[in-house]
Amino acid sequence: MNRCYLQRWEESERGWGIRPDGCSLHINEEFHRRYLNEIYTIRQSEVLVPDEYERISGPLIECFISDTLFELVKEKNSLRLMEYEMNNLIKIEDIFFKV
Selected residue with higher pLDDT from 43 and 94: 94
> Is residue 43 scored above 90 in pLDDT?
no
Taking Cα atoms as reference points, which of 11, 5, 4, 9 lies closest to residue 23? 9
What gap in Å lies between CA 21 and CA 18, rounded to an integer?
9
Going by C-alpha positions, the residue among 73, 76, 82 that lies closest to residue 10 is 82
Domain span including residue 35? 2-96
Question: Is the pLDDT score of 98 beyond 90?
Answer: no
**Average pLDDT of the segment spanning 5-16:** 95
Distance CA 74, CA 69 (A): 9
- Selected residue with higher pLDDT from 33 and 48: 33
Average pLDDT, the chain: 94
d(CA 82, CA 18): 15
Residue 22 Ramachandran class (φ > 0 left, ψ -120 to 50 alpha, else beta): left
Q: Is the pLDDT of residue 45 over 80?
A: no
How many domains does the structure of the chain reveal?
1
Higher pLDDT, 95 or 14: 95
Confidence band, pLDDT 50/70/90 cuts, at residue 9: very high
